[in-house]
């Protein structure tokens, strides 16, 4: 039987989990994300997404391109239109497209197994069987979700988590005071690590460092970091990767939120595949250039500021 063009393999959030009925044809409220999209509450505060699979809880900060979801109502918030996709959860209307449009534009792209020509009607809408198959596949897919796999208590990680959703990617020092940073301000990946370390009481430099400084310190000076092997890296350790001089887009840094698992290593970061402090995994956070760069795994030096307990 001729195979139908299907959703890209990165499909993440289950239409079943979102309450799509598998007893109705041509779901008019069935959409596909066309641009990576944050999820907001009615006050436009970023919120997390959750999924539970095999008894384990997974989270994601964004809907990624190719994600399927249902959207019922359109609400205008601060002059912009949003689809309601859950209880007090909203996504910009401009980031979604109908499933029919998605099929037309992605006819020859990577497909997801198990859907065939009986799973879609002439207008490109999923039938009962199609909805059920998408829900079953999505329920098992956790590739873009983040799961902490360590219960290690880390003051650095705790401070980093408190900054989730903060900042916009930009000016290295655009956050103001490190002790009470402007969450609507700006910083970059290394600036975020520096703020978290500073708040956790580590005796780091008085100005936020950059990834080249972090790398050289971990490998040579050991004032702030001690270089460790990747296999020993765990929650609360830091990942640094540089290409060339490591400046700007040639470098990245993040804090591990779980044990090292290659490109599936869970992290919290500024930037990467998000425009604010977000949870992710190592692989999706690095472009092709950085994936071929110099990786350094580092453990913050346990030297605390005198004025902190």
User: Of 117, 140, 163, which residue is a domain's last?
Assistant: 140
Contact of 238 with 230, CB cutoff 8 Å: no
**Domain tally, the chain:** 2
| Same domain? 240 vs 106 | no
| Same domain? 72 vs 133 | yes
Is residue 23 one of the residues assigned to a domain? no
| Same domain? 119 vs 192 | no
The CA-CA-CA angle for residues 266, 272, 275, to 5°, reads 115
Q: Each residue of 183-215: pLDDT tens digit?
A: 999 999 999 999 999 999 998 989 999 999 999
Is residue 237 one of the residues assigned to a domain? yes
Is residue 289 one of the residues assigned to a domain? yes
Q: Each residue of 2-60: pLDDT tens digit?
A: 333 333 333 333 332 332 222 223 345 677 788 778 889 999 988 877 766 666 666 77
| Same domain? 133 vs 159 | no
In the structure encoding, which two tokens stand for residue 265, read together? 């290593």
Is residue 14 one of the residues assigned to a domain? no
Is residue 20 one of the residues assigned to a domain? no
| Same domain? 261 vs 171 | yes
| Same domain? 126 vs 191 | no
Residue-level pLDDT at 124: 60
Identify the domain containing residue 163 by its residue range: 155-300
Is residue 235 one of the residues assigned to a domain? yes
| Same domain? 240 vs 277 | yes
What is the DSSP secondary-structure string of the chain?
-PBPP---TT--S-TTTTT--TT-SS-TTEEEESS-EE-B-TT--B--EEEEETTEEEEESEEPTT-EEE---EEEETTEEEEEEETTEEEEGGGEEEHHHHHHHTTTS---TT-BGGGB-TTS-B-HHHHHHHHHHHHH--TT-B--------HHHHHHHHTTT--EE--TTTT--SSS--TTSEE-HHHHHHHHHHHTTB---SS---HHHHHHIIIII-SSEEEE-GGG--TT-EEEEESTT--GGGEEEEEESS--BTBT-EEEEESTTSSSEEEEEHHHHS-HHHHTSEEEEEEE---B-TT--
User: Of 140, 165, 195, which residue is a domain's last?
Assistant: 140
CATH number of the domain encompassing residue 230: 3.90.1720.10
Is residue 8 one of the residues assigned to a domain? no
| Same domain? 196 vs 70 | no
Matching residue, tokens 């990624």: 64
Is residue 3 one of the residues assigned to a domain? no
User: Of 140, 175, 210, which residue is a domain's last?
Assistant: 140
pLDDT, tens digit only, all 309 positions of the chain:
333 333 333 333 333 233 222 222 334 567 778 877 888 999 998 887 776 666 666 677 677 766 777 777 899 999 999 998 888 889 999 988 876 676 666 554 434 445 666 777 666 666 777 766 666 665 555 554 555 555 557 889 989 989 988 999 988 899 999 999 999 999 999 999 999 999 999 989 899 999 999 999 999 999 999 999 999 999 999 999 999 988 878 899 999 998 888 888 889 999 887 788 988 888 888 887 888 899 999 999 875 444 333
| Same domain? 166 vs 276 | yes
| Same domain? 173 vs 277 | yes
| Same domain? 117 vs 174 | no
| Same domain? 41 vs 131 | yes
């Amino acid at each position: 039987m001729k195979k139908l063009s299907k959703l890209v393999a990165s499909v993440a959030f289950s239409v079943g989990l979102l309450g799509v009925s598998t007893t109705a044809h041509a779901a008019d409220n069935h959409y596909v994300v066309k641009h990576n999209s944050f999820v907001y509450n009615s006050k436009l505060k970023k919120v997390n997404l959750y999924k539970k699979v095999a008894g384990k809880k997974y989270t994601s900060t964004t809907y990624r391109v190719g994600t399927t979801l249902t959207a019922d109502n359109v609400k205008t918030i601060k002059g912009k239109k949003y689809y309601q996709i859950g209880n007090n959860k909203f996504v910009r209307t401009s980031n979604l497209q109908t499933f029919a449009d998605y099929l037309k534009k992605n006819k020859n792209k990577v497909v997801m197994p198990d859907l065939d020509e009986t799973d879609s009607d002439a207008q490109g809408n999923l039938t009962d069987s199609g909805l059920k198959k998408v829900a079953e596949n999505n329920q098992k897919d956790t590739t873009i979700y983040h799961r902490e796999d360590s219960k290690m208590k880390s003051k650095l990680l705790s401070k980093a988590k408190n900054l989730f959703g903060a900042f916009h990617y930009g000016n290295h020092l655009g956050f103001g005071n490190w002790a009470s940073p402007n969450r609507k301000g700006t910083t970059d990946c290394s600036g975020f690590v520096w703020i978290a370390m500073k708040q956790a009481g580590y005796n780091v430099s008085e100005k936020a460092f950059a990834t080249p400084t972090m790398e050289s310190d971990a490998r040579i000076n050991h004032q702030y970091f001690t270089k460790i092997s990747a296999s020993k890296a765990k929650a609360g350790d830091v990942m640094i990767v540089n290409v060339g001089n490591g400046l700007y887009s040639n470098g990245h840094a993040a804090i591990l939120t779980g044990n090292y698992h290659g490109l599936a290593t869970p992290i919290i970061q500024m930037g990467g595949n998000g425009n604010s402090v977000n949870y992710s995994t190592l692989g999706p956070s690095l472009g092709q250039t950085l994936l071929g760069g110099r990786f350094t795994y580092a453990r913050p030096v346990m030297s605390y500021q005198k004025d902190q307990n």
